[in-house]
Structure 1
Amino acid sequence: MNWKNALTFFCTLFAATATFAQSAPGKTLTPGKHNFTLQWISWDVPGKINITKNADGTFAAKGDQYSDDKKDFVTIDGTITQTSPAELVFTGTIRTRYSNVNNGAVCEKTGTYHFLSKGARKYWRLQEMDNCEGNNVVDYVDIFF
């Protein structure tokens, strides 16, 4: 194989890989109810996040997950823009509370945050995951496809 054929082969392979990554199945945010979790509460009994499409192409997002006794929770309320199959940009408020973290106080984050889907994951995970407590305590807040 000469260098021109090799270059053509690798360029074709790269273009096909890029196209597949951009159209990865399941990594498109769609309107409807999606599973929504905070690891402290449960991955097995998810809450729900309702996604609705806005006229400007962004998505309204509102949801929650509560523990059985309703004392611990995660809530989300704001707007999402999908910037790529792997990334969501969320602007709004995320509130978490777990009795054994942050002295049981609510951790409220208001602003712009990023959710990423990596590898074979079936969800986007909040990247600004530090809990208000500090001390390397993190909240895994996930929005499922």
Structure 2
Amino acid sequence: MNWKHAIAFLFALLAGSYTFAQSAPGKTLTPGKHNFTLQWISWDVPGKVNIVKNADGTFAIKGEQYSDDKKDFVTIDGTITQTSPAELVFTGTIRTRYSNVNNGEVCEKKGTYHFLSKGARKYWRLQEMDNCEGNNVVDYVDIFF
């Protein structure tokens, strides 16, 4: 950015005509159906979550992704607050099961977790991604814009 562009940017910022949303297009959580994935199952055939705006400005989220045989899955049920275009704070339950991970047992996470969108990604990814198995096994749980 040359100095003329920098000065124009500063004037726009000070005048209030440049908003945070302009600097991060597409990263606004919106009500409706969104793609939802766990990498063990598929990125190509996503599940769905339904997001509903609550009266207090938070969002209810509920959804799932299942494997073709319905044995492996990820589910989510709880509340989301968008703290910035890049970050969602989720409170509720996330359950994952993949037959080759954690001895095929369900990994259940209850509590408050964080989803981040970095760079040009078109999704927010769960940051507390350690699977219950341990051993450096991680679950990539993604909520798409």
Matches within 5 A, 1:1-145: 9=7, 12=10, 15=13, 19=18, 21-23=20-22, 24-145=24-145
How far apart are 1:21 and its partner, in Å?
4.8
Q: Provide TM-score, normalisation by structure 1.
A: 0.88
How far apart are 1:49 and its partner, in Å?
0.4
Deviation beyond 2 Å, 4+ runs, structure 1 = 8-11, 13-16, 19-23
How far apart are 1:84 and its partner, in Å?
0.3
Aligned residues of 1:64 and 1:75 also touching (Cα < 8 A): yes
How far apart are 1:9 and its partner, in Å?
3.0
How far apart are 1:26 and its partner, in Å?
1.1
Q: Structure 1: any 5+ residue segments left out of the alignment?
A: none
Q: Report % sequence identity.
A: 84
Q: Structure 2: any 5+ residue segments left out of the alignment?
A: none
For 1:83 and 1:101, the matched residues in 2 are separated by 32
For 1:21 and 1:113, the matched residues in 2 are separated by 24
For 1:14 and 1:100, the matched residues in 2 are separated by 53
Aligned residues: 138
Change (3 A) 1:86 1:103: same
Secondary structure at the counterpart of residue 7 of structure 2: helix
Q: Provide TM-score, normalisation by structure 2.
A: 0.88
CA RMSD of aligned residues (A): 2.1
